[in-house]
Structure 1
Amino acid sequence: MGPRIGEGPQMPDRDTKTTMGTEDMPESKVSMEPRDLHQDSQPRWLFHNIKFFVLCHSILQLAQLMISGYLKSSISTVEKRFGLSSQTSGLLAAFNEVGNVSLILFVSYFGSRVHRPRMIGCGALLVALAGLLMALPHFISEPYRYNHNSPENRSQDFESSLCLPTTVAPASVLSNDSCSSRTETKHLTMVGIMFTAQTLLGIGAVPIQPYGISYIDDFAHQSNSPLYIGILFAATTMGPGMAYGLGSFMLRLYVDIDRMPEGGIKLTSKDPRWVGAWWLGFLISAGLVVLAASPYFFFPREMPKEKHELHLRQKVLAGAVSIVSKGKELSSQHEPLKKEAGLAQIAPDLTVVQFIKVFPRVLVRTLRHPIFLLVVLSQVCTSSMVAGMATFLPKVLERQFSITASFANLLLGCLTIPLSIVGMVVGGVLVKRLHLNSMQCSVLCLLGSLLCLLLSLPLFFIGCSTHHIAGITRDLGAQPEPSLFPGCAEPCSCQSDGFNPVCDTSAHVEYTTPCHAGCTGHVVQEALGKSQVFYTNCSCVAGNGTVPAGSCDSACSHLVLPFILLISVGATVASITYTPSFMLILRGVKKEDKILAVGMQFMLLRVLAWMPSPVIHGSAIDTTCVHWALSCGRRAVCRYYDHDLLRHRFIGLQLFFKSGSLVCFALVVAILRQQKKEASIKATVKSSDLQQQL
């Protein structure tokens, strides 16, 4: 059996721990090691190797961040499937922070008092359970019905939404049946399951990062620890990008791929009624988490201290990755890796009562420090911007430029997130190579915030207005219509809440159903292996013409690449400012308060940014809706938005948070300049006094 440090205290002192090597260990233990390596099997030896732990932890955090970020990649699809408003979906996306914040202090207190690898494994299994719960509503709900005009016992065909007077009676029956108490109870059950899953996701993620980082720091060689943490960060930053990539692939598949109706479906991914297989990504991510969690139950509570320094240009690599490791996740969920480990390193020296007593005192003293407070407020503004963008930018791209949810996720996963990671690396390299002091770091943050703000201004003008939708939007200067829909469709007795859009391409007018366009027939044309549906004899179209199924394409779809490029460059510039701002916090507070100050910074970012920001952005998006789908008298999902208003309010919120960050850094520069001036005056006075004494 491999050596285990079972004697003595559970956690060696910091000074003793860092100097422990081969010569510091008892001779018997050192002499045992070669014999044990031959006696033990290779897998057993692996679990006493810190390098193998780093590999396992990199894979686990990548898989955990895939689950955390996957909901954001499919947020618009979940809204359509379960009839949620953007405010509700934003609250759902932010709800995992509730469980996380509520338990982080307890994790910080227990530190090494528990079996850290097993606690990480248990937390990972809870994360996997949360992923399975997120997918559960798909299996306990009825198959998705994209055509609610069709009776339950009929296939979802095209005739159900045509202009036929015989549809009046069945439509009223359907409307009454769909609003039963059982239907509403099932809807609340689905939403409740997802909120519960998000809470469990936050609770399960609590021990993963702090225990993993402290475990590596305790048993790795002192010079290798920064390198391992840098490798860990480099691997885990791929998690959000892979989550969007997974969402891009899954949303190309139909939601009920496991229970397809007879004859298949007649939708394409460009149809606004299309719902992708949002649940499949949660199952895949949960399976990866379970596989990644398995080794943690075989790691020892304490393993032998690593004895040798890696000969891989250790000085260059260790210095570079130690700064890179202070980065953060774009998407939401990945905070600096050493933040949560900080509290865990000091808390084991305190009793529960002492820990509770010391925390408020240090909190008040630290919050009274102007530099700390302003830098944290600037990071709160930046994190609020990032949280809102990560949650709702795919939806804004879908609506603004008429692209699919799959393509929107692909843009974020392949462009925005990688460039943001590059920005974090550049910021760390600038701080290290140029040896920036506090004043220079604050100036760099100020310039970065200003440039990020300027890059956002053109986004107000990249886009176009909502096309004309009959009965919902009207062209400027047009006469108001006497009823909700044009008079040409009045003989059809169409349902007001039906949704099967068609587009009059010649006039660029969209109708919510073929019935509202006065169409009485349909044809299906096959071309290049794909079927295209056309509705014929439409009385609301010039010359009783033919209209294709689906919404009208945006006239601004060619602007999607300039739009996402500007956002990506702005995100890169914003990411550059993170490492300098983190250094301002480390250099601005007292030495004895640094660990708890970093922990408080993490908590404030969670409470003030990651929790409220998605709800704020979702509420702002809801105010731009011009046509809601109704379910039992309540507003469900939004069918149409005012595109100009949507773009202006979403980008306006981003500008508001960027402006807040800019103001905070401007105040930091002013305070540091004043402190430098006062220090210069004191030095001059002291020098003159010394000369007089001489």
Structure 2
Amino acid sequence: MGPRIGPAGEEPPTPDKATMPSEDTAGEDASPAPRDLRPSVFYNIKFFVLCHSLLQLTQLMVSGYLKSSISTVEKRFGLSSQTSGLLASFNEVGNTTLIVFVSYFGSRVHRPRLIGCGAVLVALAGLLMTLPHFLSEPYRYDHSNPEDTPQDVQASLCLPTTPAPALALSNSSCSSYTENRHLTMVGIMLTAQTLLGVGGVPIQPFGISYIDDFAHHSNSPFYLGILFAVTLMGPGLSFGLGSLMLRLYVDINRMPEGGIKLTSKDPRWVGAWWLGFLISAGAVALAAIPYFFFPREMPKEKRELHFRRKLLTIAASPASKGEDSPLEQSLGESQKKQDGLAQIATDLTVIQFIKVFPRVLLRTLRHPIFLLVVLSQVCMSCMAAGMATFLPKFLERQFSITASYANLLIGSLTIPSAILGIVVGGVLIKRLHMGPLRCGILCLLGALLGLLLTTPLFFTGCSAHRIEGIAQRPAMQPEPGLFPSCMEACSCPADGFNPVCDPSTHVEYITPCHAGCTSQVVQEATDKSQPQVLYTNCSCVEGGGPVLGGSCDSACSYLVLPFMLLVSAGTAAFSITHTPSFMLILRGVKKEDKALAVGIQFMLLRVLAWMPSPVIHGSAIDTTCVHWALSCGRQAVCRYYDHDLLRTRFIGLQFFFKTGTMVCFALVVAILRQQDKEARAAATVSGPGSSPGLQQKLLVSEPERKREDSRV
């Protein structure tokens, strides 16, 4: 017979003649076990690591995909940046409300099965995010038309014979049904984001604890390193997927007859944002299948069994019966500590756990190192959440690039830079054998370098070109046009949007009607590019035109690559602080509080950073808007921003959080220096007058302490 898997969590029986060759004997050729009696692949911890890496990768693709298409969702459903920021932050609401209880449940539940259920919920939430696309009517990029007429560029021309402004027709279509439909779509997306956070609660904590419990103690860090490395690719893939999907038209599944006359460079273009959610949700659903076949507990890896059996042999030998060996004593003490921690979590009921948690929280927050490091991580997370949510939109507006290109830049430059910074931080700790003080200094230097690298971002950009009839600053009156009375007879719709650009003066008009244009010419392109649309006979344009369809190009589009290189370099510098800051947290609390300290840390990061930061950044972006689209009398999406003000406030918020991070790390270094001086003074005082035994103890413990500090 082949090796038999015993009950979960139990030690295997004493190996007999049948099981010894196949499991324990090294270097001997064992006869292969029958195929039907071999252990299942689901009892292999390596296979679990592979499955969990793929699951966390796809989960982060779902949760990060909204950030890659945030500006597209705003245009499609008429949302302000504040509302879209609230939508992005709702991912953390469900996660925050349940993450604390993960510390309570621990290993009481069937962890793989619960991970699978959470993954299924994530997949359903991703599908729910696509529901507004299928429930809403086809996208109309020319809102100056009544809803019962086909989209036609003629509606944007100056037509003096128009009996009434199209605005009246547009307002007549506004009803309680229209507003309720808008609120329903927003409510569906908020619900989907909440479920997405709830489904992600058990995935990472239970997966990490499952790997650590059943992997060999020397293999566990290696497996977790693989897990984190693969997981970090998820945000990059989400931006890459967004770059591909936003090149497709939003209604690709229900294209109008004759197609559309928009290009991806047109400001009215809306990409297929929903298609990425379908793809990533399907990937999560496939990755969730194996978790329903993993056991609740699996045997330890083989080398762990060898190690335990050697210890049992040593313990059973006659020389060791009188007194326990130091190795056995240390193993017994560590096992008692682990059992004690597990016993605390096991004996508490849910009510007792809720009562005890505030006291543990207050006791943990009294540690100055823990508190300051968590505050620094809160500042970094605020910076990261705002950057991840609104950097694609910022690049679109500041440098007049497409949403697809913005996502491509972020996915190929910024995300890999963050991964590189995290790896470099971990390597530096391992190679230089850094203790707490050196970790604090490394964090301070990384934050200072990141701050210096991103300071030039304030000046990397240019002012917005002139938009005729729109103020260049918020809350200012628009400047008078070149010909104030040129479009009085045109009956231009106030809520129309079909921008055109005068190439000679670099002045933009909201619609051809606002430029006084009465005719249109389509020039067929010689290559495979889209045809060029020209508008002629424009009474509001000096010389009568012609003007080109689409917005004017930015005068500083060439600065987008230097801007992204600076952002990526600053991101890499700040990412270096990731691993050493975690080490400071683990060293700054008592051993019995480490598990809950990590849970408290993640809870504070979500409550103080990942939830409010997108809303704060979105509100700051909204204050720089100079022209809002109107939907039934309410402000919808912003169409034009003051570029200088947008850059100053967006980068200024980032600079504020980066400065807070650096200040917190500086205080950490100051406290650690003071503690190091006190420790040296105490050692000096006790040295001359102390006994030789105490001196020997100090000499012996110093290398041990350094070795302990160097462990990551």
TM norm. shorter chain > 0.5: yes
C-alpha contact (below 8 Å) 1:164/1:492 kept by paired residues? yes
> Mean alpha-carbon deviation: is it higher for 160-169 or for 625-634?
160-169
> 1:403-436 CA distances to partner (integer Å, 9 max, x unpaired)?
0000000000001000110000000000110011
C-alpha contact (below 8 Å) 2:61/2:280 kept by paired residues? yes
Counterpart Cα distance in 1 of 2:299 and 2:436? 39
Of 135, 140, 143 in structure 2, the residue corresponding to residue 145 of structure 1 is 140
Q: Is 1:164 matched with 2:159? A: yes
Distance change in 2, residues 1:479/1:284 (3 Å)? closer
Counterpart Cα distance in 1 of 2:482 and 2:355? 64
> 1:87-123 CA distances to partner (integer Å, 9 max, x unpaired)?
0100100101010011112222112211111111110
Tell me, what secondary structure is at the counterpart of 1:113?
A: coil
> 1:386-415 CA distances to partner (integer Å, 9 max, x unpaired)?
010000001000000000000000000001
Q: Is 1:189 matched with 2:174? A: no
Q: Which amino acid aligns with 1:597?
A: A
The residue aligned with 1:384 is 382
Q: Which amino acid aligns with 1:84?
A: L
The alpha carbon displacement at 1:32 in A equals: 10
> Mean alpha-carbon deviation: is it higher for 158-167 or for 30-39?
30-39
Superposition map of 1:38-57 within 5 A = 38-40=34-36, 45-57=40-52
The alpha carbon displacement at 1:531 in A equals: 1.2
Counterpart Cα distance in 1 of 2:435 and 2:293? 45
The alpha carbon displacement at 1:462 in A equals: 0.6
Distance change in 2, residues 1:424/1:683 (3 Å)? same
The residue aligned with 1:89 is 84
C-alpha contact (below 8 Å) 1:37/1:45 kept by paired residues? no
Superposition map of 1:295-374 within 5 A = 295-308=290-303, 347-348=345-346, 350-374=348-372
Counterpart Cα distance in 2 of 1:27 and 1:97? 55
Q: Which amino acid aligns with 1:263?
A: G
The alpha carbon displacement at 1:345 in A equals: 10
Counterpart Cα distance in 1 of 2:548 and 2:40? 65
> 1:465-513 CA distances to partner (integer Å, 9 max, x unpaired)?
11100010359xx997458994222221111111000001110100000
The residue aligned with 1:680 is 680
The residue aligned with 2:131 is 136
TM-score, normalised to structure 2, is 0.87
Q: Which amino acid aligns with 1:74?
A: S
The alpha carbon displacement at 1:590 in A equals: 1.5
Distance change in 2, residues 1:384/1:578 (3 Å)? same
Q: Which amino acid aligns with 1:237?
A: L
C-alpha contact (below 8 Å) 1:128/1:290 kept by paired residues? yes
> 1:210-239 CA distances to partner (integer Å, 9 max, x unpaired)?
111111112222221111111111111110
Q: Which amino acid aligns with 2:184?
A: T
Higher radius of gyration, 1 or 2: 2
Counterpart Cα distance in 2 of 1:482 and 1:622? 25
Tell me, what secondary structure is at the counterpart of 1:440?
A: helix
The residue aligned with 1:521 is 519
Counterpart Cα distance in 2 of 1:345 and 1:138? 50
> 1:31-83 CA distances to partner (integer Å, 9 max, x unpaired)?
998999625388x7212221111111111111110000000000000000000
The alpha carbon displacement at 1:457 in A equals: 1.2
TM-score, normalised to structure 1, is 0.89
Of 90, 105, 118 in structure 1, the residue corresponding to residue 113 of structure 2 is 118
Of 401, 421, 424 in structure 1, the residue corresponding to residue 422 of structure 2 is 424
The residue aligned with 1:16 is none
The alpha carbon displacement at 1:454 in A equals: 1.1
C-alpha contact (below 8 Å) 2:440/2:669 kept by paired residues? yes
Counterpart Cα distance in 1 of 2:192 and 2:32? 44
Distance change in 2, residues 1:480/1:384 (3 Å)? closer
The residue aligned with 2:217 is 222
Distance change in 2, residues 1:273/1:387 (3 Å)? same
Q: Is 1:543 matched with 2:555? A: no
The alpha carbon displacement at 1:260 in A equals: 0.2
The alpha carbon displacement at 1:154 in A equals: 2.7
C-alpha contact (below 8 Å) 2:469/2:480 kept by paired residues? no
> Mean alpha-carbon deviation: is it higher for 612-621 or for 681-690?
681-690
Counterpart Cα distance in 2 of 1:588 and 1:181? 57
Distance change in 2, residues 1:683/1:473 (3 Å)? same
C-alpha contact (below 8 Å) 1:427/1:577 kept by paired residues? yes
Distance change in 2, residues 1:483/1:497 (3 Å)? farther
Q: Which runs of 4+ in 1 moved over 4 A?
A: 1-5, 22-37, 343-346, 478-485, 688-691
The residue aligned with 2:597 is 597
Counterpart Cα distance in 2 of 1:27 and 1:595? 42
C-alpha contact (below 8 Å) 1:5/1:302 kept by paired residues? no
Distance change in 2, residues 1:503/1:471 (3 Å)? same
Counterpart Cα distance in 1 of 2:496 and 2:630? 10
Q: Is 1:6 matched with 2:7? A: yes
Distance change in 2, residues 1:603/1:344 (3 Å)? farther
Superposition map of 1:262-273 within 5 A = 262-273=257-268
> Mean alpha-carbon deviation: is it higher for 556-565 or for 99-108?
99-108
Q: Is 1:394 matched with 2:389? A: no
The residue aligned with 2:443 is 445
> 1:221-277 CA distances to partner (integer Å, 9 max, x unpaired)?
222111111111111111000000000000000000000000000000000000000
> Mean alpha-carbon deviation: is it higher for 177-186 or for 646-655?
177-186
The residue aligned with 1:336 is none
Structure 2: gaps of 5 or more residues: 24-29, 306-340, 696-712
The residue aligned with 2:701 is none
Q: Is 1:256 matched with 2:269? A: no
Superposition map of 1:15-26 within 5 A = none
Distance change in 2, residues 1:87/1:485 (3 Å)? farther
Of 498, 504, 507 in structure 2, the residue corresponding to residue 506 of structure 1 is 504
C-alpha contact (below 8 Å) 2:45/2:214 kept by paired residues? yes
The residue aligned with 1:323 is none
The alpha carbon displacement at 1:295 in A equals: 1.2
Distance change in 2, residues 1:280/1:123 (3 Å)? same
C-alpha contact (below 8 Å) 1:2/1:45 kept by paired residues? no
The alpha carbon displacement at 1:668 in A equals: 1.0
Tell me, what secondary structure is at the counterpart of 2:516?
A: coil
Of 47, 60, 63 in structure 2, the residue corresponding to residue 68 of structure 1 is 63
Counterpart Cα distance in 2 of 1:510 and 1:635? 22
C-alpha contact (below 8 Å) 1:160/1:167 kept by paired residues? no
Counterpart Cα distance in 2 of 1:282 and 1:155? 29
Q: Which amino acid aligns with 1:306?
A: E
Structure 1: gaps of 5 or more residues: 13-19, 311-342
> 1:132-171 CA distances to partner (integer Å, 9 max, x unpaired)?
0000000000000000122333321110110002335261
> 1:334-382 CA distances to partner (integer Å, 9 max, x unpaired)?
xxxxxxxxx9997345443443343222211110111110111001001
The residue aligned with 1:657 is 657
